[in-house]
Structure formats: structure tokens, C-alpha cells
Amino acid sequence: MTTEVDYYEVLGCARDADGATLKSAYRKLAMQYHPDKNGGCKDHEAKFKAISEAYEVLKDPQKRAAYDRYGHAAFRNGGAGGAGGHADFAGFSDIFESVFGEFMGGQRGARQPRRGADLRYDMEISLEDAFHGKATEITVDVSGTCDTCEGTGAKPGTMARTCGTCGGAGKVRAQQGFFVVERTCPTCMGAGETIADPCGTCRGDGRVDKTKTLSVNVPPGVDEGTRIRLSGEGEAGPRGAPAGDLYIFLHVARHPVFQREGTTLHARAPISFATAALGGEFSIEGPDGETHVVRIAPGTQSGREIRQRGAGMPVLQGRGRGDMVIHVDVQVPTRLSPRQRELLEALREVEGEVVEEDPGFFSKMKAAFGG
């Protein structure tokens, strides 16, 4: 019976030694026991092979992880790949997967069910719905679970059988040189099962086309592009696999008065020349259904912004509201009645042709025309 020497002891290193320490120890020992430097001594030659074998395993993170867990049993079939040895890479692949399986999606043979596809539904709502929120229903056409076979794909009274090609794993492996290639099983197409007598309704797929009516709750404050997820309401998975999700994308219809910018509402308000000069007020109804009074100060110029605090859109899943901003647009009449003309002529006689003269205006005009 051959005694198996610990690889770390062969190199004279601790089990937590890093790669640089292992490499340094290997070089030192290899120079000391190399056959060319010891006249072909058999003992030194055996020692050199043991050093090379130990370093060949410990320098590779994957092989080292397998060795730390299983010891020499990890390389029982064919040696450790050191001097004169050839590692059994197919066996090592199984060991490696058992060590790191939880990080690589599970161990071999643990078939993961193929989940159904996610679906998208576009819904248009009004600005008022975006403000108040909305409870509604939608109708969607999806692939749902077959009621006849309850999603198994097999004819009622029969059962699916474990695939004889992949053993239920849904995948098969083939060794190509030093690598192990994994691909979908060609017999069961990844299902892990085969059906000898398929369901007559779904023809073995476990799914049929259905029309479903779903309830949707739109929360207050949603905006263009807001996404609502309905878990498990997407396409059903094949043969009883979990269903995907349904994603509802919201689109807010254009409003005749307001333009939205986050939680701020913007509106353009045309006012008369007289109102701009003398002041006044007007009312505007917001998407909240309330009437907001906007006050115009005397002498208001066109383009001025009047902000109504807290009259905008609500914060999505939060507290408070944004503002409403009124953009004033002073309208100059293009057609005057005789009475309006008479009054404006009188105003011009009282104040002069230029009511508010820009001090620099005429000086700029004289400079432009040379004098």
C-alpha cells in the first residue's frame, strides 16, 4: 500500500500559504533535488517528482480547492497531473462542480425548470388618472397552464418519464480533450423528462393560449414610462414550470392645458393687455379637480412665471406635491372695435408714443444708422 504524503508537507508550506509562497518553495526545492544536479540519484529523482506533482496541484486554484476538500481522492483516477501523470479531467470536473456548485447554478443532475417568458403591456392613462391613481382591469392573451393535464403535458392518467439520455438533468456532457462540454439534452430538449402519451389538448407542451382579465392598481403620482410588475402573470412555463411576469408600462396622454415636468405642472395663460397693465385674477382647474385662483399683479410683463405652491402632481410613493407654474402671455389685440381704438388713442395722447422707453434704445438706433 502506497503512503500518500500531504502536498503541503512536500513543499514545506502551511495550508493557507499564498501562491507566491508556494512558487518560491517549489523553485528552491526543485533546484535542490533536480536529477541533473544529483548524478541521477534515484531518491532525489523520486523526491523531485513528488515536489513537481504537489506544486502542479496546489498552483491551480480549482485543483487546490478540490484537494483541500477531498485530498488525494480528488485525483484517484490517473494521478495528479504532475511529472509523468495525466489528470482525469472528467472526474475533476464533477468534483469541482460539487465544491462550487452553489455558485455555478447547482450541482449536476439538479435540473432547473425553464421559466416562462416575461410579457409587456402598454397602458395609456390621463393626467387626472396619474394624479389620483386608478384601479382598472386589463385583458391579455397569454400562454397559460393547460387545464386538461394541469401543466404536465401528459395525457390524464399517465405520467412523464425521466429522460434516459440525460437521467433527468436536462443536459448531457461530452469530453473534448482537456475540457468537458455541457449542452442541452437532444432527447428531452432540456426538460429532463419524456412523454410517451402526450395530452391531446396541449400536445405535450403543458400550455395553451388563454385570455385573462387582470386587476391593475395604478398608484397616484405615476409618470410617463412608470412600470408596474404583476408577478407570475406572464407566459406559463412549459410542463408546469414557473410562469414569467407581466410588466405594464404606463403612458400619460397629452393634456390640453398642462405640460408635466416631474411633479411640476406648467400651463400657458394668455391675458389681455388691460389685465397685464391693471392687474386682475383668473381661475384654472387643476388635475386634482380643484379650482386654483391665479392673481396678476399690475404691470405684469409677458413671459412672467407665477408659481402656485403645492398645486402640482403628488410625489410617487411619497408625501407632498409639486408646484403649478403659470407662464403669462400678454395678448396684443390685432382687431380693434371703434371704442377700443378710441380708448387706446386717448391713452397714447396722455402717455406719449413710448410708454416705457428703454434709455439705451434710441442711442443704439442712432449709432446703427451713423448719427
Q: Which residues are annotated as a binding site?
A: 146, 149, 163, 166, 185, 188, 199, 202
Q: Which residues are annotated as a binding site for Zn(2+)?
A: 146, 149, 163, 166, 185, 188, 199, 202
Assess contact for 264 and 323: CB atoms under 8 A.
yes
Residues 6+ apart with CB under 8 A from 137: 213, 214, 215, 216
